């Protein structure tokens, strides 16, 4: 009796949709879900050399190599509580918030800020340079592809001090092969600092935490005590390799 | 279902600072100091406390002891009341490279033997 009533309601509702035969809605394309809290990938904190495929080297232009060699850790924008830029990660969790029109990366740390990605958007022609640039995203099957231009040249790629210019163009690819893994690769194309595009590879793991407030500039006493470069740095005199 | 899966994955990010640890501290210069806490700052980017420590001549020097971020400490189970002004603690530190009265507190032990802020000093 109840089943019959439900069938009747369905028929009535379907019949009201424009007369004649009910036309089934086209199935919405399945959009992968990237939402959640993620741990940073250390390879994008300390030295992006760590994120290259084994055997590869960074195609630094001469001035970029010199800049990396001479930069001192006290001048790292991150030490000064400024944003990481892209693709650098801070040692704090971050959250992906996904809507049909935008994807937001909410960062707990360094700084307590966000990236916004316009789904199926286009880049304006007259961008002014910014720390996170202008990001547009599209889905290719199970992959989110994020194309970003309009960066400033202020952030460093890592503690090691790898530079870039305002010509930087990044293409990031995110995949979620299982609920707890966010595979990541980014192709960096910056003809102002590197002799060819190159690709970095990483992976984020799901974090069992919530974002917390982190206002880096509250009491930053560190900069005046930072001396030279990190001695583990490939480009540090202390390491003896450069 | 997903939230259940998330529950199985602990916070595993490296406990790291927002600056190069080794450009600021010398891991090879470890020292153990004992004294009374004079002040606790539960602030970003690092929590810190100040400690009156007698030097070899008997002079009292006030040391600035840097910890990890309040968030990192909180996730490890500590909070701003874990250490109080007047507490006597023994601290194992890495000294600042610039020779100032600043150190990274790697292990903090209360007079009764209880450890606080274990493993959250900001080194990675």
ipTM of the complex: 0.81
Q: Cβ of B16 and A45 within 8 Å?
A: yes
Burial class, A34, CB count within 10 angstroms (exposed 0-12 / middle 13-18 / buried 19+): middle
Select from B5, B29, B45, B49 the residue whose CB has the most chain A CBs within 10 Å, as the one to mutate to test that interface: B45
CB of A228 within 8 Å of a chain B CB? The answer is yes
CB of B23 within 8 Å of a chain A CB? The answer is yes
What mean pLDDT do residues A65-74 have? 95
Map out the domains of chain B with their CATH numbers.
Answer: 16-116 (2.40.50.140)
Query: What residues in chain B have per-residue pLDDT under 50?
Result: 1-15, 120-124
A214: chain B residues, CB-CB within 8 Å:
44-45, 69, 71
User: Phi and psi dihedrals of A47, rounded to 5?
Assistant: -155, 120
Starting at the earlier edge strand, list the strands of the sheet with A94-98.
A36-38, A94-98, A102-107, A114-119, A134-140, A143-149, A169-178, A181-189, A198-205
What mean pLDDT do residues A70-97 have? 96
Q: Which is more confidently placed, A204 or B2?
A: A204
Q: What is the pTM of this model?
A: 0.85
Q: Cβ of B9 and A180 within 8 Å?
A: yes
Structure tokens, B73: 């400490």
A90: chain B residues, CB-CB within 8 Å:
18
Q: Are A6 and A120 in contact (CB under 8 A)?
A: no
What mean pLDDT do residues A46-72 have? 96
């Amino acid at each position: 009796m109840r089943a019959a009533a439900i069938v009747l309601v369905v028929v009535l509702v379907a019949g009201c949709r424009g007369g004649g035969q009910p036309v089934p809605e086209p199935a919405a394309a399945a959009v992968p879900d990237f939402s959640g809290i993620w741990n940073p990938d250390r390879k994008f904190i300390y030295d992006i050399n760590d994120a290259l495929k084994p055997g590869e080297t960074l195609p630094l232009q001469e001035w970029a190599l010199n800049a990396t060699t001479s930069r001192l850790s006290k001048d790292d924008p991150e030490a000064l509580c400024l944003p990481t830029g892209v693709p650098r990660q801070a040692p704090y969790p971050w959250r992906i918030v996904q809507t049909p029109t935008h994807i937001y990366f909410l960062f707990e740390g360094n700084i307590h800020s966000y990236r916004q990605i316009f789904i199926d958007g286009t880049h304006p022609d007259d961008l002014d340079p910014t720390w996170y640039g202008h990001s547009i995203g599209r889905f290719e099957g199970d992959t989110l592809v994020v194309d970003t231009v309009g960066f400033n040249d202020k952030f460093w790629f890592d503690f090691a001090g790898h530079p870039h210019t305002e010509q930087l163009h990044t293409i990031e690819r995110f995949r979620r092969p299982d609920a707890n893994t966010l595979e990541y690769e980014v192709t960096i194309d910056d003809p102002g600092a590197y002799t060819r595009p190159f690709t970095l590879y990483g992976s984020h793991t799901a974090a069992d935490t919530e974002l917390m407030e982190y206002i880096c500039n509250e009491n930053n006493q560190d900069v005046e005590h930072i001396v030279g470069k990190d001695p583990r740095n490939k480009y540090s005199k202390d390491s003896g390799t450069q | 279902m997903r939230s259940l899966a998330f529950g199985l994955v602990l916070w595993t990010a490296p406990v790291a600072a927002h600056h190069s640890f080794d450009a600021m501290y010398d891991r090879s210069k470890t020292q153990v100091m004992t004294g009374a806490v004079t002040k606790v700052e539960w602030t970003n980017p690092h929590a810190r406390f100040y400690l009156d420590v007698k030097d070899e001549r008997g002079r009292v020097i006030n040391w600035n002891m840097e910890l990890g971020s309040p968030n990192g400490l909180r996730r490890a189970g500590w909070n701003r009341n874990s250490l109080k002004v007047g507490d006597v603690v023994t601290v194992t530190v890495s000294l600042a490279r610039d020779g100032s009265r600043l150190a990274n507190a790697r292990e903090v032990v209360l007079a009764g033997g209880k450890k606080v802020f274990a493993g959250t000093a900001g080194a990675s």
